[in-house]
Each structure stands twice: as structure tokens, then as C-alpha cells.
């Protein structure tokens, strides 16, 4: 088959799947103009229009839909064969694309990557940090890492952490000026640092756990952010009381830059799970990454 024709067909399928030239370009590591040129060449070779394009949207034409209906199974067969060849290598090689929320990226994935790098030097990892919810299939990730309640359906999931402990903290300067709360209800008289969920846009409702009883409470918020590191920095700056992951706060508690408040009131987050599509043939590189995450 004409090499340019096969390449153009693969690009055409990627563009339709991504829904835009820009997203397809990011997935393929090419420029949008290069993809546009490839589509013009493909349509010229086939002498038929495959995409209806406007400044705001694109969609396959009826001829493009008919082509995709036959093309997708063929491309899936090629990927399956490549996956079988991949298992025959003496050692894993290739790239693994991972989407994880920031705490998992920093405190779970990164500490386990040196062992993977040592044992499998030909495996590279692309770690995309995103605290919102992501469709890992549509965005072409090999796997995602989220808390159990945020997993996509029809996925294989593997627990890679214990429940994640939290701690309420504030700076010494803040406490010297505002006093230290003794009870969750005391927060009504304090300034609080809150988290806004990236996907839903809602501000997280503070949770408390005392003697096995969990409760929620609205607190007066003086600062809101959608980044957990900014929450920590805001607490260090004396903007108020924050609820942080214990691992994130520990260095600052040890240095005295932050002080634990409301001991015995902080809840825990569910364990982190690594999840991936059940219908996708794992590559040798992904299996090596999975092994590193399970054994960390």
C-alpha cells in the first residue's frame, strides 16, 4: 500500500476520534497544520471529501463514515499484532502515558519510577497531572490513577495505596492571631482554605471524622483554589486553616512552619487505584509499569 495513503488513513481516524485537529495533533506529537496537510493529500488521492470542517467543528462525511466503519477493525487488528510482537522482545520498551491527580503523582507514582528506570531503561513514562476527571480512553492514556469512587466504568482497577490520611493545619502566625479551634464547630469563627473541584466546579464540603462518626460541615472560606499545592502554600502564608494530605504537610509540620489543629478530627480519603481499559491489550512496557506500581 502507498505509504502516504496508509499514514493518511491513520491520521484521519485519529482526527475523528479526537474530535479536532488540535487534540489529534497533541496525541500524535505533530502540528495541526501537518495534520491538515495530510488530510488534503489523502482526500486528493482518494478524490473524495472525508471530513466536513468548519471553524468550530468537524465531522466525517457519509463517505468518511463508511471508510471508518471498515478502517477501525483493520487498525485494531494491526494494533493487536503489534502487541503480540511486543511480548516477544527480550526486554520491555516504549512509552506509557499516565493521567493522575497531583497527590498520587507526587507521593505514589514518582517514588516508584526509579526502580522502573533501573530495571527497564527502555521504558519511558509520560505523567500528565490533572486533578479533574478524564476519559483516559478518549485521551489515549494507558492508565489513570484516582480514588476508588472516581474510577471510570468498564475498567480493570488495582489498588496501589492505603487510605490517604488527612490533617488540619495552620501557620503559627495565623494561630497566634486567631486562636486554635478545639472543635469542628469552632471553624465557624475562623478563616478556611478550601478546594474547588476541577470537573464539577463545586467547592469541597469539609468532612470530619470523630470516634468513627463522619460528618460534613460548611465552613467560612477566605481562600479557594483548585490546586492542592497552592492550598499548602496559602496555609504557610497564614491565610487560614487548610485540610492537607498528611504526606504533603509532614515536612512543614516537622519544621514548625505549620501546626496541626483539631487532632483526631481529620478523615481519610479512599485508597488510590490504578485503572486501565479491560479491552485493551497491555504492552510489555505497560506491564512493567504496572509491576512497578504494584510493588512500590
Reported as a single tens digit per residue, the pLDDT across 103-125 is 999 999 999 999 999 999 999 99
Q: Report the CATH number of the 164-269 domain.
A: 3.40.190.290
Q: Which CATH class is domain 94-162+271-294?
A: alpha beta
Closest C-alpha among 103, 100, 169, 104 to residue 141: 100
**Cβ(147)–Cβ(271) below 8 Å:** yes
- Helices within the chain (DSSP H only): 3-18, 21-28, 32-46, 62-87, 102-104, 110-119, 172-178, 228-236, 246-255, 284-294
Please give the chain's pLDDT, 296 residues, in tens. 566 687 888 888 888 888 888 888 887 878 888 888 888 888 888 888 999 877 677 888 998 888 888 888 777 777 666 666 655 555 788 899 999 999 999 999 999 999 999 999 999 999 999 988 888 887 888 999 998 776 777 789 999 999 999 999 999 999 999 999 999 999 999 999 999 998 888 998 899 998 878 888 889 999 999 999 999 999 999 999 999 999 999 999 999 999 999 999 999 999 999 999 886 677 889 999 999 998 76
Q: How far apart are CA 210 and CA 204, in angstroms?
A: 19
What integer pLDDT is reported at residue 280 of this predicted model?
Answer: 67
Give me the residue spans of the domains in the chain: 3-87, 94-162+271-294, 164-269
Is-same-fold flag (94-162+271-294; 164-269)? Answer: yes
Give, as one character, the DSSP assignment of residue 196: B
CATH of domain 3-87: 1.10.10.10
Distance CA 104, CA 146 (A): 8
DSSP state of 48: S
Report d(CA 19, CA 237) in Å as an integer.
43
- What per-residue confidence (pLDDT) applies to 159? 94
Question: Cα–Cα distance between 28 and 17 in angstroms, integer?
Answer: 12
Q: Which pTM value belongs to this model?
A: 0.71
Pairing mode of beta strands 164-170, 242-245: antiparallel
- List Cβ neighbours of 99 (8 Å cut-off, separation of 6 or more): 128, 130, 134, 136, 139, 141, 143, 144, 145
- Per-residue pLDDT, 89: 59
* pLDDT at residue number 296: 64
Residue partners of 109: CB distance under 8 A and separation at least 6:
98, 100, 127, 145, 293
Exposed/middle/buried for residue 114 (C-beta within 10 Å: 0-12, 13-18, 19+): exposed
Amino acid at each position: 500500500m502507498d505509504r502516504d495513503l496508509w499514514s493518511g488513513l491513520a491520521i484521519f481516524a485519529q482526527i475523528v476520534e479526537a474530535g479536532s485537529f488540535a487534540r489529534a495533533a497533541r496525541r500524535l506529537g505533530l502540528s495541526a497544520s501537518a495534520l491538515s496537510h495530510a488530510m488534503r493529500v489523502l482526500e486528493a488521492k482518494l478524490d473524495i471529501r472525508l471530513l466536513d470542517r468548519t471553524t468550530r467543528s468537524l465531522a466525517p462525511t457519509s463517505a468518511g463514515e463508511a471508510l471508518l466503519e471498515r478502517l477501525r477493525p483493520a487498525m485494531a487488528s494491526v494494533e493487536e499484532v503489534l502487541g503480540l510482537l511486543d511480548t516477544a522482545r527480550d526486554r520491555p520498551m516504549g512509552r506509557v502515558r499516565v493521567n493522575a491527580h497531583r497527590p498520587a503523582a507526587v507521593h505514589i507514582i514518582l517514588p516508584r519510577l526509579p526502580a522502573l528506570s533501573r530495571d527497564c531503561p527502555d521504558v519511558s513514562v509520560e505523567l500528565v497531572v490533572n486533578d479533574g476527571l478524564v476519559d483516559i480512553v478518549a485521551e489515549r492514556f494507558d492508565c489513570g490513577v484516582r480514588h476508588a469512587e472516581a474510577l471510570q466504568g468498564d475498567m480493570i482497577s488495582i489498588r496501589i495505596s492505603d487510605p490517604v490520611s488527612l490533617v488540619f493545619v495552620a501557620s503559627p502566625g495565623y494561630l497566634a492571631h486567631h486562636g486554635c479551634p478545639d472543635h469542628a464547630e469552632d471553624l465557624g469563627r475562623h478563616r478556611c482554605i478550601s478546594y474547588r473541584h476541577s470537573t464539577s466546579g463545586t467547592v469541597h464540603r469539609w468532612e470530619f471524622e470523630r470516634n468513627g462518626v463522619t460528618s460534613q460541615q460548611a465552613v467560612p472560606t477566605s481562600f479557594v483554589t483548585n490546586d492542592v499545592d497552592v492550598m499548602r502554600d496559602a496555609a504557610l502564608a497564614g491565610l487560614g486553616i487548610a485540610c492537607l494530605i498528611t504526606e504533603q504537610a509532614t515536612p512543614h509540620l516537622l519544621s514548625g512552619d505549620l501546626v496541626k489543629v483539631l487532632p483526631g478530627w481529620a478523615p481519610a480519603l479512599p485508597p488510590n487505584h490504578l485503572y486501565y481499559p479491560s479491552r485493551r491489550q497491555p504492552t510489555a512496557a505497560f506491564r512493567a509499569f504496572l509491576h512497578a506500581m504494584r510493588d512500590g
